Amino acid sequence: MENARFSPWLGHIDRMVAVADMREPSVADQIHVLQHAAYSVEAQRIGSSDFPPLRETLDALRCCTDCFLVFVEDGNIIGCLSYGQSGAVFTITRLVVCPQHFRRGIASALLRQLECRLPSGSVVCASTADLNEPAIRAYEKQGYGTAVGPTSEGITLRRLHKRIEGTNEQIQPDRSN
């Protein structure tokens, strides 16, 4: 991934979760490269030679109206979660982590940050390939329920959901690092 800096919108914080501005070309570019790397690993893991998320173009990503949260480390986006909203239901449309940073809690941090932004009573939904065990474990670790869902383009999906309970307050980034 390129080493584009994010000082205009993030300052000089070494590691944090932030809302991404998809109008910023370097942001969209980094997310596109990141998701291609992550989805390539997933496609190989589940045995898909034509994985639908790998077909998303940079232009389509730039036009996406979802809200994007990114995990930034040393000015580089190494994780991304996007979601849409319909009433009290929030649907995660992508959750990707740079393969070199797998198993460091980045997906969990993005999920926790999303949940902290949502009002009590909200429902978060997501889906992933049924064979994507690391992703399913990450969701289950955060309390998501799962059920085998429909098949899409030959890929059996796992549906995930969680009801947000209690009062959520915005988590402030840890600046001690």
Do 34 and 40 contact (CB within 8 A), yes or no? no
> How is residue 30 annotated by DSSP?
H
Of 50-54, 94-98, 146-150, the range with the highest mean pLDDT is 94-98
Distance, in Å, from the CA atom of 56 to the CA atom of 150, rounded to the nearest integer, reads: 21
What amino acid is encoded at 176 in this protein?
S
Residue 3: which H helix or E strand, with range?
none
Q: Is the pLDDT of residue 7 over 70?
A: no
Q: Name the E strands within 24-130.
A: 67-73, 76-86, 89-97, 123-129
Q: Is the pLDDT of residue 173 over 50?
A: no
Q: Exposed (0-12), middle (13-18) or buried (19+): which is 172, by Cβ within 10 Å?
A: exposed
What are the distances in angstroms from CA 127 to CA 30, 75, 82, 117, 174?
23, 29, 13, 20, 30
85-144 tens-digit pLDDT: 999 999 999 999 999 999 888 999 999 999 999 999 999 999 999 999 999 999 999 999
Domains of the chain as residue ranges with CATH: 7-163 (3.40.630.30)
4: confidence class by pLDDT, cuts 50, 70, 90: very low
pTM flag (> 0.85) = no
Mean pLDDT of the residues in the chain:
85
Of 45-49, 116-120, 152-156, the range with the highest mean pLDDT is 116-120
> Among 106, 134, 123, 114, which residue's Cα sits nearest to residue 160?
123
The two structure tokens encoding residue 10: 């993030």
